Copies of this chain bind each other. A is one copy, B any other.
Amino acid sequence: MRDRRISESTIHRLSHYYRALTALEREHFDTVSSKELANREELTPAQVRKDLSFFGSFGTRGLGYPVKELKERIARILGIDRFWNVALIGVGNIGSALVSYKEFARQGFNIKLLFDNDQRKIGSNHKGITVLGMDDLERQLNENKIELVILAVPASSAQVIVDHVVNCGIKAILNFAPIKLAVPDDVFLRTENMSMELEYLSFSLVNNLPRKSDRKKT
């Protein structure tokens, strides 16, 4: 074992492989070559092999990779071979869309609790979940063993709320507010900035950037 650090891009590509393998399984393929896997996600065979070899070799020379085993293995690496209890804070436009977003549930992310600090929303019901007030946050997160929090609040209140969430002991946060949030070093924070990709498109249009691929790097 040489350099034991895994890059962000590799992890993101694992998500792609997982997606492709799910399709391959549905199509009843037993094995898949690095070439086929690469084609499906617009990568190169060498990159697929490098990525997968990072976690040990489970391909068979002359044949390829076993679809089912590889899929399970990647699920385990990504931590989606289990269920995650998720709380969602902010039941506005984005928030209420995310409650119903089936892809999350499909990957094992179960939104168990909803929070908002708008009195008019507290007590209301979304997909069978009752919206709670923020004062109850810590007790509810603990009692429901929440490990992951999705933040869909306005940028203006995001930092205050993320501080509160961090104080409750949460170690992983997905932020949808278009703002840079500060968290302690032991908390994992990822920010989903939906305008950024639109800006990338407008940049491409005005600069006539020749296309390389559809994939994101960071």
Interface residues of chain A, those whose CB is within 8 Å of chain B, are 6, 8-9, 11-12, 14-16, 18-20, 40-42, 77-80, 84, 93-94, 96-98, 100-101, 103-104, 107-109, 147-148, 150, 171-174, 178-181, 183, 185-207, 209, 211, 213-218
Contact = CB atoms under 8 A, between A and B. Distances in A.
A12 B218 contact: yes
How many copies are assembled? 2
A150 B180 CA distance: 25
A192 B191 contact: no
Nearest to A5: B215
A103 B178 contact: yes
Given A96-B97, A97-B96, A198 B180 contact: no
A45 B166 CA distance: 29
Nearest to A213: B185
Contacts of A200: 8, 11-12, 15, 190
A190 B214 contact: yes
